[in-house]
Amino acid sequence: MVLKNKIKINRNDALLVVDMQYDFIPGGALPVKDGDKIIDLINQLIKTFKLNQGIIIFSQDWHPSNHLSFASNHLNKNPGDEFQSKGIGPVLWPDHCIQGTKGASFHKNLKIEYVDKIIQKGLDPNTDSYSAFRDQLKDKETELRVFLNEKNIKRLFICGLALDYCCYYTAIDGLEFGFDVYFIIDASKGVDIPKGNISDKLKKMKESGVKFVNNQNFL
């Protein structure tokens, strides 16, 4: 599944670190198990890309408090309840990554000083925005695609949280927008909600043409 060959990063490559925020790390409102254990790996990747003139991008969930993906904004609903409506679902979440809160901030141990661009998503209260490229309705894009094209990026390397949601949808959109997409397995963690979601999303990424690598693939 994981590529064997070594990869040399250049100025046409971008590292996209997805949603490494306090609310997704153990102790946060919507923690991903072992989400804090990939920070050192991500910092190594940041160093590799910076040394080789690659571009470094962070995505950031940035929700208003009235976001309809929050169970608290629905009568008699709890986090984890199945819910499907236009732009929202497949489940409802606890309140998380609310604009301006500590939970929405990047973890203090991340090498944020080397980041070239921060892409905020999830600002529209009426739709989820798992992908760093656009919302679930595919109506509104973030700045990401334009920024990547301006920088003449060809290869997009994705890691972070959560594997089976924001990382997955970002990877699939990256393919659709014409980028050569690599998913860094050991620098990503998933929530596996519902059960089996991680294996399902990995299978779908592979079938779609996403290439799998790990931190040891980089020169």
CATH number of 159's domain: 3.40.50.850
Is 117 domain-assigned? Answer: yes
Is 8 domain-assigned? Answer: no
The pLDDT of residue 135 is: 95
19 catalytic, yes or no?
yes
Angstrom distance (rounded) from CA 55 to CA 211: 19
Q: Residue 142: which of 118, 113, 161, 164 has the closest Cα?
A: 118
Q: What is the pLDDT of residues 73-124, one digit of tens each?
A: 999 999 989 998 888 988 899 999 999 999 999 999 999 999 999 999 999 9
140 catalytic, yes or no?
no
Out of 50, 97, 164, 166, pick the active-site residue.
166
Is 3 domain-assigned? Answer: no
The pLDDT of residue 64 is: 97
* C-alpha 78 chain-centroid distance: 24
Domain that holds residue 125: 13-217
What are the tokens at 92? 């409802």
From residue 49, alpha-carbon distances to 13, 15, 29, 36, 126 in Å are 8, 7, 31, 21, 36
Q: How many domains does the chain have?
A: 1
Out of 121, 189, 201, 211, pick the active-site residue.
121
The average pLDDT across 131-136 equals 96
Is 184 domain-assigned? Answer: yes
Out of 13, 19, 36, 128, pick the active-site residue.
19
Is 42 domain-assigned? Answer: yes
pTM of the model: 0.95
Q: What is the pLDDT of residues 191-218, one digit of tens each?
A: 998 889 999 999 999 999 999 999 999 9
Is 1 domain-assigned? Answer: no
The pLDDT of residue 89 is: 87
Is 169 domain-assigned? Answer: yes
Is 45 domain-assigned? Answer: yes
116 catalytic, yes or no?
no
In the chain, the percentage of residues whose pLDDT exceeds 70 is 100
Which residues are bridge partners to 18 per DSSP? 59, 160
Q: What is the pLDDT of residues 140-163, one digit of tens each?
A: 999 999 999 999 999 999 999 999
